[in-house]
Amino acid sequence: MRDINQFTITEAVKQSFKTEEGSRLKFLLETFIDHLHDYTREVNLTHEEWMGILMFLYDCGKISTPERHEFILLSDVLGFSALVDMINTRGGQTEGSNLGPFYLDDAPRFALGGDLGGGRDGAVLLVQGQVRDSLGNPIAGAVIDTWQTDSAGTYPIQEQASGQDKYDLRGIFTTGEDGKYWYTTVLPKPYTVPYDGPVGRLLRAGNRHAWRASHLHYIVRAPGYRPITTELFFDNTDYLDNDAVFGVRRSLITKLEPVKKTDSLPPTDKVPNARCSFDFVLAPEG
């Protein structure tokens, strides 16, 4: 009979999995077990603490719905999401940033120059720029999928109980031959990540706030290129230095400017009074 103790159990657990030699799954699993067991030994985890962790994860699952992803939020506030984004950003491409918990993969499509705001309160913001490759060539037909809060810092998807449409303030645009895109929307505001659940308890336990710097979310795709998931921040917003989910990168901050009469602007359905510009750079697949 094998003799398992607190020092030999790690190897025994690893050997119990009959995963393919040299496979990625074997590597991921064994490294995870190593770190999990090392952590447990290092902190001398008590039964109460062990059960506390398991119940915390149970609570994260219990509060999750197709429209509330508590595990993504947990990953975000632990910097896990940001770390994955960072190590998967290729040199030359736009830096990645948080997907967040509010993405829907079937947003409505808009023509260039369209307005996402739909008559909502707030400054009318023109967002414009270009999608290009790392050599500076424009990418025609790139798909820009965006979503954001309103001018009060709320995602409509969070307010369905009060009659808001979950597809509001989100849309898909396609770049023209010159790779350019432009549209109007309302200027978003900082907001708190949901803190009425287990992740909120974690933040409070760590004396942390739940605020995010105001931002626009993007997924940008084009055939033959690696898709990017990222966020665009404004230079005048609060929480750039202490965003609750560690999403801010220097390269993702854009200058927010008032529109002047002398500005030459692309045609839009709605007249903007503020503007910002950002170019997305995609790296080839593979």
Q: Which is nearer to Fe ion, 170 or 270 (CB)?
A: 170
Q: Judged by CB, which is closer to Fe ion: 122, or 176?
A: 122
Question: Which one of 9-17, 82-90, 92-100, 219-227 is the stretch in contact with Fe ion (CB under 5 A)?
Answer: 92-100
Cα separation of 162 and 235, whole Å? Answer: 32
Identify whether the C-beta of residue 251 lies closer than 8 Å to the C-beta of residue 281. Answer: no
Q: What's the min distance (Å) between Cβ of 198 and Fe ion?
A: 19
- Tell whether residue 101 is a contact of Fe ion (CB under 5 A): no
Q: Report the distance separating Cα 90 and Cα 172, nearest Å.
A: 24
**Which position's Cβ is nearest Fe ion?**
100
Only segment of 13-21, 36-44, 96-104, 218-226 that touches Fe ion (CB under 5 A): 96-104
* Interacting residue with Fe ion among 100, 171, 188, 198 (CB under 5 A): 100
Q: How far is the CB of 56 from Fe ion (least distance, A)?
A: 23
User: Rounded to the nearest whole angstrom, what is the least distance from the CB of residue 140 to Fe ion in the complex?
Assistant: 28
SS3 for 136?
coil
Tokens 């998807």, located at residue = 157
CB of 100 to Fe ion, least distance (A): 4
Edge-to-edge strands of the sheet including 215-221? 170-174, 143-147, 215-221, 228-234, 253-254
Strands 280-282 and 124-133: parallel
- Residues forming beta bridges with residue 221, ordered by sequence position: 143
CA gap 115, 189 in Å, rounded: 18
Q: Least distance from C-beta 91 to Fe ion, angstroms?
A: 26
> Could you tell me the smallest distance in angstroms from the CB atom of residue 96 to Fe ion?
14
* Closer by beta carbon to Fe ion, 178 or else 238: 238
Q: For tokens 């917003």, name the residue.
A: 237
d(CA 278, CA 129): 5
Cβ nearer to Fe ion, comparing 169 with 281: 169
Q: How far is CA 284 from CA 95, 101, 138, 212, 217, in A?
A: 14, 27, 13, 31, 22
Number of residues in contact with Fe ion under rule CB under 5 A? 1
Give the residue with the Cβ less far from Fe ion, 100 or 117.
Answer: 100
Residues contributing to the site for Fe ion (CB under 5 A): 100
